[in-house]
Amino acid sequence: MKFVAELSQLVFPQRCIGCLNLGPAICSQCRVAWHPHIYTTHVERLVVTSAILYSPIAARILVAAKEGNQRSADNLVIDALRHVVENYKGDLKNLTLVPMPSSKNSSRKRGRNFVESLCEDLQISYSNILFHQKRVQDQSGLNAKDRKQNLVGAFGVENRARIYGDIVLIDDVVTTGSTLREASRALSAGGLKVSAAITACVAQPLR
């Protein structure tokens, strides 16, 4: 197996996910941009805690995880989320993470629901009770106002029996907060109060 690993290094030399230079999965320079801290932002009354400031390097890492299914990129995102979870003020044994759902289309394309699969690795109870109930555009090309409009009524809530303790929303990145706001609204319309939200990355300024 070692031989196979070495051979694959020769054929497909490893590159840093952040800058694509040959070397380890993340080079020391890119590590500076992907070094978990604690950042707190607010989406209306919802407190959002994140680990990494969004940057071109962070963007490449998220894309490599989300679109490229690269395990080493996944691990960086999981480390960031774990850092946030470890700093959570409440009781970790008494909370349920609610992952932001991928659309059916992107789940099919990627072979997984991205944020839900991160929850599995975090080993904290989670419940995928949110689902897309209407077609939404990819948020990345939209401004803050259009993002909000795009997501109105986007999420439905199902199977609430699997929820207990604090409800904590989880996503890879918070940008304008539209996704978390709409998820929180959908859950509260279903009688469920969201306690907090965590994300790996936070894009600033948060508008």
The footprint of Zn ion (CB under 5 A) covers: 16, 18-19, 27, 30
Strands (E), 81-175: 95-99, 130-132, 155-157, 166-174
Q: Quick one: 56 or 153, whose CB is closer to Zn ion?
A: 56
The residue assigned the tokens 């070094």 is 35
The residue assigned the tokens 């209306």 is 44
Minimum distance of Zn ion from residue 69's CB (angstroms)? 20
Q: Quick one: 21 or 159, whose CB is closer to Zn ion?
A: 21
Q: Quick one: 196 or 200, whose CB is closer to Zn ion?
A: 200
Query: For residue 9, how many C-alpha atoms fall within 13 Å in the half-sphere facing its CB?
Result: 10
CA dihedral 111, 113, 115, 117 (to 10 degrees): -60
How crowded is residue 109: how many other Cβ atoms within 10 Å of its Cβ? Answer: 11
22 and 187 Cβ atoms separated by less than 8 Å: no
Q: Quick one: 33 or 85, whose CB is closer to Zn ion?
A: 33
Alpha-carbon distances, residue 89 vs 86, 95, 129, 170, 195 (angstroms): 8, 11, 24, 16, 11
Helices 178-189 + 144-151 axis angle, to 10: 30
Minimum distance of Zn ion from residue 175's CB (angstroms)? 23
Q: Quick one: 16 or 130, whose CB is closer to Zn ion?
A: 16
Minimum distance of Zn ion from residue 41's CB (angstroms)? 26
Minimum distance of Zn ion from residue 58's CB (angstroms)? 12
Minimum distance of Zn ion from residue 29's CB (angstroms)? 5
